[in-house]
Amino acid sequence: MVCDENDEDCMMSRCDDCKGNFAQHIIPNIMNKKKVIKWYQWMHYKGRAEKKEFSGTVFHCMKQLQQKTPQYLCHVFIKRKQSNYFEDIKETVNDDTVVCQVDYAENFTLQNQDQIQSAHWSKKQVSIFTAYAWMGGSGGQGYSFGLVSNQKKHNKYTVITCLEILVQEIITMMPDVNEIIFFPMVPPANSSIVMLFNI
């Protein structure tokens, strides 16, 4: 698909040599463009990703894939850069630095043990904010954290509340910490977000 998967211009579809590769090398090689097929595609619906089934011709499916390829290549490039940086920073942090990876787990539904009794009440959900912190100078050792909340929204207000609690826990465990570097497990689309807090 690209000349060089490590070249930003290629992966961002700015390279004149490879940005037309899909149209030049994939589309012309479709054997039966009118054949009807089914495929699955992730779609965003009411803020959630859902896998949907689609039906159409091979040509229609390939044109949709062609439209999504630049976004996918960009995502892959950023993901690889972030992963490399993340692994590098974990290995080279100072003794007064903590590297922390954070994420929200999927909301969990709570059920009573007695299923008949639980049918009379609506089921409640909780969110779990997870984190793993690598302490500088620990030889790769770290600590797991899980913060449970009845707040099901995963917005900036709930995240900052969880981060404040997490920072206090880290300071308690490592009083000499001067810097905490947070990596979101799943960064927002098309971004290279890394949060850095100096204590």
> Over the stretch 117-167, which tens digit does the pLDDT of each residue have?
555 556 677 888 899 998 876 666 789 999 988 777 777 888 888 999 999
- How far apart are alpha carbons 15 and 20 in whole angstroms? 9
Mean pLDDT of 19-38: 94
Q: What is the pTM (predicted TM-score) of this model? A: 0.69
CB 137 within 8 A of CB 97: no
CB 192 within 8 A of CB 81: yes
